[in-house]
Amino acid sequence: MSTLCKDRVVIVTGAGRGIGREYALQLARLGARVVVNDLSVSRSGEDTGESTAAAVVREIVESGGQAIANHENVADFAGARRMIEAALDHYGALHGLVNNAGILRDRTLCNMSEEEWDAVIEVHLKGTFAPSRHAAAHWRDLYKKTGEPVGGRIVNTSSSSGLYGNIGQINYGAAKAGIAAMTIIAARELKRYGVTVNAINPHAQTRMTEGLRERSAAEIEARHPRWIAPAVAWLVSAESSDVTGRIFELGGGHLAAMEGWRRGPAAEPVDDAARIGPVLRDLAQRARRNVDMKGHDLD
């Protein structure tokens, strides 16, 4: 068995099912001590009355691995702090945080309710910020005590809905675009402490994506979480210290590094609304096209 993550303590949020479960299982197989966080809610965020986190922990322990269950709400600031403290109290260390928890409340802009917007933004955006903030503070304080790079790792979860744009997911896409920006900024801020921050843009067939569209057997296999988990395991390992501030597209037949916003065609500044229209139209026509959910130019 590989020892890529031997004795590294890693928190995985939303690890009770789907892609998060796959992360937790693979990390445990690679020697990590895993904190399996999950609220055990439905795809839209309702309580299901079961403990999926405990089930994953049992599976890990029965296979000879080490794991504990955690049921804190990632979007609760104090709860996120308690989650970080649980890892430190139980294992005496924290090396990695995988922010994976999420829900869906799909609706077009004209029909979306305030509650549907708030729920998705809270779980995805605040639910990435809050655990990351407390983990980062712990690593900063540890660096101040030792003066040595701490080897911390954060892996966030973005999405094609945020990076490319997907109709009917304006709340989810906004959150995922925000997470991409958060990843780049946090990577710059935490580099001084020896902490890396990366994100993935996963294509996976999980509870979150089932029923959204018909897929062939080959497409479902290509979207199995096993095509994504190895990259996450490597990104939280000690080996990945030279990779930070990056977003990787994984699954669905993809293994690619994403490239962010860059300045495109330019012109001399214009301070007259009557004259700027043709200049903006020319710039828009010369700029690279926006892309669809497959990364292809929109018609």
pLDDT tens digits for 235-278?
A: 999 999 999 999 999 999 999 999 999 999 999 999 999 999 99
Cα 135 to Cα 197: distance, rounded to the nearest angstrom:
12
- Work out the percent of the chain whose per-residue pLDDT is above 90: 85
Q: What is the pLDDT of residue 208?
A: 54
Query: Is residue 210 scored above 70 in pLDDT?
Result: no
Contact 91, 28 (CB under 8 A): no
Fold of 9-258: Rossmann fold (3.40.50)
Q: Domain coordinates of the chain in residue numbers?
A: 9-258, 264-298
**Which tokens sit at 200?**
């993935």
- Segment holding 26, helix H or strand E: helix 18-29
The mean per-residue pLDDT over the stretch 152-159 comes to: 98
Q: What is the pLDDT of residue 182?
A: 98
Contact 187, 198 (CB under 8 A): yes
Residue 218 confidence class, pLDDT cut points 50, 70, 90: confident
Q: What is the pLDDT of residues 26-60, one digit of tens each?
A: 999 999 999 999 997 655 546 556 689 999 999 99
Q: What is the mean pLDDT of the chain?
A: 93
**Which tokens sit at 80?**
């996120």
Q: What is the pLDDT of residues 171-188, one digit of tens each?
A: 999 999 999 999 999 999
Residue 158 confidence class, pLDDT cut points 50, 70, 90: very high
Q: Centre a 10 Å sphere on the Cβ of residue 179 and count the other Cβ atoms it contains.
A: 26
Query: Is residue 219 scored above 90 in pLDDT?
Result: no
Q: What is the pLDDT of residue 189?
A: 98
Query: Is residue 1 scored above 60 in pLDDT?
Result: no
Asked about 193 being catalytic, the answer comes back as no
Cα 187 to Cα 175: distance, rounded to the nearest angstrom:
18
Q: What is the pLDDT of residues 74-125, one digit of tens each?
A: 999 999 999 999 999 999 999 999 999 999 999 999 999 999 999 999 999 9
DSSP state of 148: S
Residue 292 confidence class, pLDDT cut points 50, 70, 90: confident
The mean per-residue pLDDT over the stretch 131-153 comes to: 98
Q: What is the pLDDT of residue 213?
A: 59
Q: What is the pLDDT of residue 293?
A: 86
Q: What is the pLDDT of residue 205?
A: 75
Residue 107: C-alpha distances to residues 110, 120, 168, 172, 174 (Å): 8, 11, 5, 10, 13
Active-site residue among 23, 91, 164, 172? 172
Q: Collapse the DSSP code of 78 into the 3-class scheme (helix H, G, I; strand E, B; otherwise coil) and give the result.
A: helix
